[in-house]
């Protein structure tokens, strides 16, 4: 036996936590490290090349630009966790956006009916895809590739050939175009940081009372401090006046999509980390046979992952429709899906299943948004953007595959 | 004392192939019963019948003296019978506690009760005198073969099980790890569990078992006390179904 023999686990401290993290990274479990490093490098490069990158106006743009892709990527994480893929998520979001637009513009339905209907359509799509994969056993790659083509046609049918349907509902438009008031922005930050600190402290206290290894207060302080500092900086910048002509129209505050993304992030992270459902998703992704023997209904887990993915794609479609103020045959098309898969993988979700977090989608979504935005500022056209984003996706997938190899070599997998 | 598990006259066929003929097996609490036999002798089938994966065609299945019918792994688990398969069925991407409770998580409302699960897992591992894992929150992927086996066994005994069946637990292990697992097997029996150990390795069998049950071509050749037989007698029972007065005469138990 090579393992150390210890009666009690050593009391965790900041140093032991840092050491543990360094060990994991060296062993191939990089987590969010590539995405965070990538963000820093990209932001530095773009800021030097184009000073306008680091303006409050552009910073706010990043959020609205990346929101739809990020939300779709959040859903994709669930499918990727099982080692499956959903290539149709992009056009599924287009179909759902078209349903939203038709209900709003042609049927005159209120926004909540239209939005719920769009999400319901996403859910139905997920049930169909998931059933085909789980029950019939068709590889998800093929099922969703077929759906990718099918939905592309369906969007054309829904928007009646090349026309586009404009979205004029104020609530839907507000999602991507309005901002919280500066006071509300600070309030949101306070609630977020306070809630995070409270949860961390309560958990540590509960665990130490039961004599279980708990995070040291110093580490919690560092985490909460970092969140408060980063969040504070972001809110401060977003609360600056962004309008070119402030007398005419004032433009400041946190974009409405930000709290939406944060709520989705918190809810899905809770589902994955704190519920039996989430635990079983990881188990199926890690070892489906072991999960089956443990009495987990593997088929049902697969179907629910596709349902979550397609429903989140519907939410992404609503956000996209809001941003464009319209739905056309290209909504959810072209690069949306690749960006979303790229976002999840760049963030550290494995294409091999069993490893991933919802936070990955947000970090990766930020990287994708920064690339798209920065390249736009540099004046590059679609050609260069496609090539660069494709290369980044390939790079992220290589990091994933290499870290897996490395993990196998160090016995971590 | 009534045996925990007693099988009498078990027959099992898959289509035209009869795999088990009139098999009897007695498993007692506090003892390690080694189940030996050559490849294809029916060891795995017998174990799967006990575990409820295959239904038996005919014969009696007595648990703690009472006849029972076991139709699914869940029913076997409900009785207190746990099987640790050779391929362990652990999820590499989950930690030790998560693996031990997989599919049977403790919950408070919707939320997983991690703290209680961690305490129970730690208590079980401590009761098995497992001290070799650094943290019970480490991923199974970072464990050695012996440690994985230990986790799989701990997972089986966590549920107050009465019978633990181990399918070749030492097949893939090195010398030191084999010794460690065998020690654990012995400790389980000493704690009052009934342990069935499937093994090809005579050294292992003689090291830990109290009784040996030898299967030969789907028939129970003999079930004997380990102290009453020699190495070579067991090998003869495995290879020819008979050894001196022991074993089958013309294919029928003596």
pLDDT in tens, B17-58: 999 999 999 999 999 999 999 888 888 889 989 988 888 999
**Is it the case that residue A69 has pLDDT exceeding 80?**
yes
**Is 50 exceeded by the pLDDT of residue B70?**
yes
The 3 state secondary structure assigned to chain A is: CCCCCCCCCCCCCHHHHHHHHHHHHHCCCCCCHHHHHHHHHHHHHHHHHCHHHHCHHHHHHHHHHHHHHHHHHHHHHHHHHCCCCCCCHHHHHHHHHHHHHHHHHCCCCCHHHHHHHHHHHHHHHHHHHHHHHHCCCCCHHHHHHHHHHHHHHHHHHHCCCCCCEECCCHHHHHHHHCECCHHHHHHHHHHHHHHHHHHHHHHHHHHHHCCCCCCCHHHHHHHHHHHHHHHHHHHHHHCCCCCCCCCCCCCCCCECHHHHHHHHHHHHHHHHHHEHHHHHHHHHHHCHHHHHHCCCCHHHHHHHHHHHHHHHHHHHHHHHHHHHCEECCCCCCCCHHHHHHHHHHHHCCCCCCCCCCHHHHHHHHHHHHHHHHHHHHCCCCHHHHHHHHHHHHHHHHHHHHHHHHHHHHCCCC
B144 touches chain A (CB under 8 A): yes
Res A272: pLDDT = 95
* Domain boundaries of chain A, sorted by first residue: 31-178+280-400, 179-254
A323 pLDDT exceeds 60?
Answer: yes
Q: Do A285 and B142 touch (CB under 8 A)?
A: no
- Confidence grade of residue A199 (pLDDT, cut at 50, 70, 90): very high
- Kindly indicate the confidence band of residue B156, based on its pLDDT and cuts at 50, 70 and 90: confident
Interchain proximity A287–B112, CB inside 8 Å: no
B111 CB neighbours in chain A (<8 A) are: 274-275
Instruction: List chain A residues with CB under 8 Å of B139.
Output: 412
Confidence of residue A134 (pLDDT cuts 50, 70, 90): very high
> Is any Cβ of chain A less than 8 angstroms from the Cβ of B72?
no
| Per-residue pLDDT, B251 | 59
The answer to whether A406 contacts chain B (CB < 8 Å) is no
DSSP states of B198-236: E-S-HHHHHHH-SEEEEEETTEEEEEEEGGGS-HHHHHH
Q: Over 50: is that where the pLDDT of A7 sits?
A: no
Q: What is the pLDDT of residue A2?
A: 38
pLDDT for A386 equals 80
Mean pLDDT for A196-225 is 88
Residue A193 has pLDDT above 90, yes or no: yes
CA-to-CA distance for A11 and B175, rounded, in angstroms? 33
Contact A296 B132 (CB under 8 A): no
For the ranges A4-8, A151-155, A400-404, which has the lowest average pLDDT?
A4-8
Look over chain B and give the mean of its residue pLDDT values, rounded to a whole number: 87
Assign domain B5-91+162-253 one CATH number from 3.40.50.300, 3.30.70.1250, 1.10.1740.10, 3.90.1280.10. 3.40.50.300
Condensed to tens digits (0 to 9), the pLDDT of residues A275-290 reads: 999 999 999 999 998 8
State the nearest Cα–Cα gap between B166 and chain A, in angstroms. Answer: 15
Does residue B115 belong to the interface with chain A, where contact is any CB pair within 8 Å?
yes
Q: What proportion of chain B, given as a percentage, has pLDDT over 70? A: 97
Domain A31-178+280-400 grouped into CATH 1.10.3470: yes
Residue A9 pLDDT > 60:
no
| Residue A205, number of CB atoms within 10 A of its CB | 12
Q: Number of CB pairs < 8 Å for A and B? A: 102
pLDDT of residue B155: 87
Angle formed at CA A63 by CA A58 and CA A64, multiple of 5 degrees:
95
Residue B61 confidence (pLDDT): 92
Q: Do B89 and A296 touch (CB under 8 A)?
A: no
Do B94 and A279 count as a contact with CB atoms less than 8 A apart? Answer: yes
Average pLDDT of span B118-122: 90
Q: What is the pLDDT of residue A4?
A: 38
Whose structure tokens read 């962004």? A242
pLDDT for residue A11: 55
Could B142 and A412 be called an inter-chain contact, meaning their C-beta atoms sit closer than 8 Å? yes
- The answer to whether A212 faces chain B, any CB pair under 8 Å, is yes
> Which pLDDT band holds residue A305 (cuts at 50, 70, 90)?
very high
B204-222 pLDDT, tens per residue?
A: 999 999 999 999 988 888 8
Ramachandran bin of A402, using left for φ above 0, alpha for ψ from -120 to 50, beta for the remaining angles:
alpha
pLDDT in tens, A326-370: 888 888 887 889 899 999 998 889 888 889 999 999 999 999 999
The answer to whether the CB atoms of A274 and B111 lie below 8 A apart is yes
Across residues A12-41, what is the average pLDDT? Answer: 76
Chain B neighbors of A282, CB-CB under 8 A: 91, 93-94, 98
| pLDDT at residue B14 tops 50 | yes
Write down the pLDDT at residue A5.
38
Residue A255 tokens, joined: 């974009």
Q: For residue A409, what pLDDT is reported?
A: 67
Domain boundaries, chain B: 5-91+162-253
Contacts of A279 in chain B (CB under 8 A): 94, 98, 102, 105, 112
Q: Measure the CA–CA gap between A224 and A40, rounded to whole angstroms.
A: 21
Average pLDDT of chain A is 87
Nearest CA in chain B to A410: B142
């Amino acid at each position: 036996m090579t393992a150390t023999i210890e009666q009690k686990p050593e009391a965790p401290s900041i140093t032991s936590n840092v050491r543990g993290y360094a060990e994991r990274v060296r062993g191939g479990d990089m987590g969010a490290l590539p995405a965070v490093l990538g963000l820093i490098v990209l932001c530095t490069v773009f800021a030097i090349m184009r000073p306008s990158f680091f303006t409050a106006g552009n910073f706010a743009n990043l959020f609205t630009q990346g929101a739809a892709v990020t939300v779709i990527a959040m859903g994709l994480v669930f499918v990727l966790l099982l080692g499956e893929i959903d290539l149709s998520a992009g056009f599924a979001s287009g179909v759902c956006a078209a349903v939203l637009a038709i209900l709003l513009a042609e049927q005159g339905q209120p926004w909540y009916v239209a939005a719920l209907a769009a999400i319901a359509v996403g859910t139905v799509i997920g049930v169909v895809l998931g059933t085909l994969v789980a029950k019939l056993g068709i590889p998800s790659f093929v099922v969703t590739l077929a759906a990718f083509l099918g939905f592309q046609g369906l969007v054309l049918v829904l928007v009646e050939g090349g026309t586009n349907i404009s979205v004029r509902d104020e609530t839907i438009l507000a999602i991507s175009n309005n901002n919280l008031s500066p006071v509300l922005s600070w309030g949101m930050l306070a609630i977020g940081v306070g809630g995070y600190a409270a949860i961390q402290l309560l958990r540590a206290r509960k665990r130490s009372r039961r004599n279980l290894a708990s995070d040291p207060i110093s580490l919690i302080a560092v985490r909460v401090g970092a969140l408060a500092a980063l969040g504070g900086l972001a809110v401060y910048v977003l609360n600056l006046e962004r309008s070119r002509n402030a007398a005419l129209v004032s433009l400041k505050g946190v974009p409405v999509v930000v709290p939406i993304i944060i709520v989705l992030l918190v809810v899905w992270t809770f589902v994955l980390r704190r519920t039996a459902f989430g635990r079983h998703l990881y188990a199926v992704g890690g070892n489906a046979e072991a999960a089956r023997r443990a009495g987990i209904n593997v088929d049902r887990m697969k179907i629910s992952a596709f349902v979550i993915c397609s429903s989140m794609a519907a939410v992404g479609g609503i956000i996209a429709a809001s941003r464009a103020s319209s739905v056309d045959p290209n909504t959810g098309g072209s690069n949306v899906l690749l960006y979303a898969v790229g976002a999840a993988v760049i963030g550290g979700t494995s294409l091999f299943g069993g490893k991933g977090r919802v936070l990955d989608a947000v970090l990766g979504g930020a990287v994708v948004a920064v690339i798209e935005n920065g390249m736009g500022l540099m004046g590059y056209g679609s050609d260069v953007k496609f090539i660069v984003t494709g290369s980044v996706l390939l790079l992220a997938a290589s990091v994933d595959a290499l870290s897996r190899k490395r993990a196998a070599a160090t016995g971590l997998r | 004392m009534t045996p925990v598990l007693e099988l009498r006259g078990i027959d099992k066929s898959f289509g035209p192939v009869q795999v088990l003929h009139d098999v009897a097996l007695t498993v007692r609490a506090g003892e390690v019963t080694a189940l030996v036999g050559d490849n294809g002798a029916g060891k795995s089938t017998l174990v799967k019948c006990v575990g409820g994966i295959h239904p038996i065609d005919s014969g009696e299945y007595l648990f703690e003296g009472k006849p029972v019918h076991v139709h699914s792994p869940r029913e076997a688990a409900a009785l207190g019978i746990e099987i640790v398969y050779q391929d362990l069925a652990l999820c590499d991407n989950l930690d030790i506690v998560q693996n031990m409770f997989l599919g049977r998580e403790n919950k408070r409302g919707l939320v997983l009760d991690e703290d209680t699960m961690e305490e129970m897992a730690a208590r079980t591992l401590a009761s098995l005198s497992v001290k070799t894992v650094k943290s019970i929150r480490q991923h199974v992927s970072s464990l050695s073969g012996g440690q994985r086996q230990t986790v799989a066994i701990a997972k089986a005994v966590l549920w107050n099980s009465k019978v633990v069946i181990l399918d070749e637990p030492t097949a893939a292990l090195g010398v030191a790890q084999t010794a460690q697992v065998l020690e654990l097997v012995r400790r389980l029996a000493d704690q009052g569990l009934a342990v069935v150990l499937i093994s090809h390795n005579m050294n292992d069998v003689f090291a830990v078992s109290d009784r040996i049950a030898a299967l030969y071509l789907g028939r129970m050749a003999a079930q004997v006390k380990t102290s009453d037989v020699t190495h070579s007698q067991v090998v003869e029972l495995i290879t020819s179904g008979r050894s001196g007065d022991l074993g089958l005469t013309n294919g029928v138990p003596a």
